[in-house]
Chain A
Amino acid sequence: MTEPGPGATPPKGQMSPEDIAEFKRRATELGGRIDEVQAEKQAEIEAQQDKAMRGRGMALGLRMSTELVAAIVVGSLIGYMLDRWLGTAPWLFLVFFLLGFGAGILNVTRSFQRMQDEITRETGGNIGRPVANNDDDD
């Protein structure tokens, strides 16, 4: 047995300083790569959620507009028919046009309220933040 010099085999169960340095380098590299992959995956998930939310938003927007327009049309129609029946043109038409507008706003507020309740239930009160994906706990 020779005395231990640089590069010599260390005693059993220990690592030479070079090995430790090499190991540390590899560990940090691996850590960096894991972070990279995780960031990529996170971005992908967020993009997907964003896309889903946007599709839903569009569907909701279309829904809101029909709600509003339908109520105005029905209101005006009721007013117009009452006018023809009672001969009060155009006053009841105007009144019911405004009432229809009110009903439209009511429809829209209700749908919006419902949507908000739904999102609150899904996100646990964190409206405006992406929904947490708890598939894997890390």
Chain B
Amino acid sequence: MPDPIHQFEVKRLVPLDIFGVDATFTNSALFMVLSVVTIVGLLMYATRGRALVPSRLQSIAESLYEFIANMVRDSMGEQGMKFFPLIFTFFLFILTMNMLGMIPGAFTVTSQLAVTAALAILVFITVLVVGFAKNGLGFLKLFVPDGVPIYVLPLVSIIEVISFVSRPLSHSVRLFANMLAGHITLKVFGGFVVMLLSAAGAYKALAPLPLLMATALTALEFLVAFLQAYVFTMLTCMYLNDALHPGH
């Protein structure tokens, strides 16, 4: 049976060493560059005409903008639009990496915990910096809910702090685990097809069953790829909202 984990192996393409820091260009980095090129290329090409009546591609770019802009406004209000560039970048970057990963033989960057963790930590640090810069020590109100009697407040505060600190972990693990599990399942079912076809006699007739499953799973994976990019962006908005309005 083909190894289902093999697809997640990070390969060194161009070894590079900058002052003792291992900056090797890997297949992971290659696909990140590819997704950035795809995004920038597509958006530049889509908006080159700037027509009043948009072309098909331009209307896709416009509805992408609207989609994220509405999400930002809904969760943070008008002042949240300051973070629009960050959130738009997050959404497109993750979505494109997820979608590129759906191409057979491609590397799924978001199935690496190191990558999703870096993204989640970036969000976490942004929340901390913005929270303290905007509200000063008032940001700590986030850990003191309203209407809690003073004698249970220490306990509640500790729980709130743990809840807050657990955010980057759940934020990164969710994206990583969804992509990893989905791709492993696909590979396993694909492997079943090959195994059954190479098996003796009557087992060959069973081969279409896992193939059918793999087809259905591919459709589901496309949904997951979009949904996880959406969820990651949505949660980023919510966390940033906490930084802007720590009162509630």
Contact = CB atoms under 8 A, between A and B. Distances in A.
A83 interface: no
B182 to A, nearest CB: 11
Interface in A94-126: 96, 99-100, 102-104, 106-107, 114
B212 interface: no
Interface stretch (B10-18, B105-113, B123-131, B171-179): B171-179
Task: Tell me the interface secondary structure of chain B in the complex.
Answer: helix
Contacts of B178: 62
A99 B174 CA distance: 22
Nearest to B178: A62
B174 A107 contact: no
B170 A106 contact: no
Q: How large is the interface on B (under 10, 10 to 19, 20 to 34, 35 or more residues)?
A: 10 to 19
B223 A70 contact: no
Contact of B160 (A66, A67, A103): A103
B231 A59 contact: yes
A70 B120 CA distance: 13
A62, A66, A73, A96 — most chain B CB neighbours (10 Å):
A66
B231 A71 contact: no
B231 A63 contact: yes
Given A73-B169, A74-B169, A62 B174 contact: yes
Contact of A75 (B162, B167, B174, B238): B162
Contacts of A62: 174, 178
Contacts of B166: 67, 70-71, 73-75, 100, 103-104, 107
16 contacts: A55-B227, A59-B227, A62-B174, A66-B170, A69-B173, A70-B166, A70-B173, A71-B163, A71-B170, A75-B162, A99-B159, A99-B162, A100-B166, A102-B159, A106-B160, A107-B163
